[in-house]
Amino acid sequence: MHSFLTRGNALLGFTLWVMAAVTAAAFLSTVFLDYTTNVELKTSDIKIRPVVDYTTEDETVDLATLQFSISADFSKLFNWNVKQLFVYLVAEYQSKNNAINQVVLWDRIVERSERVVMNEKNLKTKYYFLDDGKNLIGHKNVTFVLRYNVIPNSGYLRLSQAQGQIEVPFPTEYSAKSR
């Protein structure tokens, strides 16, 4: 009555329909959950030194180095639809030229199988904290924020921000060159 290919096509079509329904149910079951968490950030050993910007002649810009500590519990963010988190630390500040400057200083991928409670002490920045001018020296409030992308098995990529940002005043003098 029906050929082997007709039956195979019907089976494949039904299987794909069921998989699409399960994927939609996975997304709908977790779309309205709260993905915020608290974090404790601390900074220390902030140093600023002038470095030469080779894109212009004899122009120096500010380069900041610092250490920071992160204490956060991401366990409540993981549910059956979350595959991993992309966590990153951002420094935000205002300058004369820009209403907001955002610099990513550090990042990490946190997977479900790894430890989801982060208690890191005295981390160094992974990326340069380089300003496009001399705006870091003596800045009154550089805000450090921990942000993360929730990467699901199905659904959209959610951008969230941890509660517990800190504002830090930067030094008013350049540090001595270490090299």
Among residues 61, 143, 53, the alpha carbon closest in space to that of 94 is found at 143
Q: Are 135 and 62 in contact (CB under 8 A)?
A: yes
CB distance 127 to 76 below 8 Å:
no
Neighbour count for residue 85 (Cβ, 10 Å): 25
Q: Is 5 strand, coil or helix?
A: helix
Domains of the chain, residue spans: 1-32, 34-168
What pLDDT digit, counting tens, does each position of 137-178 carry? 989 999 999 999 999 988 889 999 999 999 999 999 998 765
Arithmetic mean of pLDDT over the chain = 90
Residues 95-146 have pLDDT tens digits of: 888 899 999 999 999 998 777 899 999 999 999 999 888 889 989 999 999 9
Quick: pLDDT tens for 65-91.
Answer: 999 999 999 999 998 889 999 999 999
State the Cα–Cα distance between residues 98 and 136, nearest whole angstrom: 13
pTM: 0.85
Of the options 2.60.120, 3.30.390, 2.60.40, 1.10.3470, the CATH number for the domain spanning 34-168: 2.60.40
Confidence category of residue 27, pLDDT binned at 50, 70, 90: confident
Residues 128 and 65: beta-carbon distance below 8 Å: no
